[in-house]
Structure 1
Amino acid sequence: MNANPILLQKKYARVIENFAKKKEITLDEALKFFYESETYELIRDGVADLHCMSEAYLADELLLEYEKRNRRK
């Protein structure tokens, strides 16, 4: 299922804001990480209807991905 592009952009903004607050980073840092993340690619591509999940859930997914990526460094 494909989401409305305008609604999806608004959802991205809310997810990024939620992620920034949870991780205590700037919106710029959160934005950069979001658009480089696997989570973004999955949402964008409509995988498993992730765009239907709450912003809090998606922000938590980003947190997991962030922690996983930083453990490798």
Structure 2
Amino acid sequence: MDKEKVKKMLCEAIDNIPECADVEDCYTEYSYGDCKAYIKTVIKVKDETEDNKIKFHDIAHNAFNTDMGFIS
């Protein structure tokens, strides 16, 4: 995977955040001395109604129409 592909995926992910949710936090997670780091984004449903939760989970589970499957 190259940087351009990752940039495209991140932009698509941001564009696909439903209206019923907001980005709550974004940070980098890593361990000192490790050669890997993770970009983590916390997305939370605004008004936690059952309809909003279902809509949010449907979009998350169908992310990018790829073979990501049921990743929560």
Q: Same fold (TM over 0.5)?
A: no
Q: Which structure dedicates a bigger proportion of its chain to strand? A: 2
If asked which structure has higher relative contact order (CA below 8 Å, sep 6+), I would say 1
Higher helix share: 1
Which structure has the bigger radius of gyration? Answer: 2
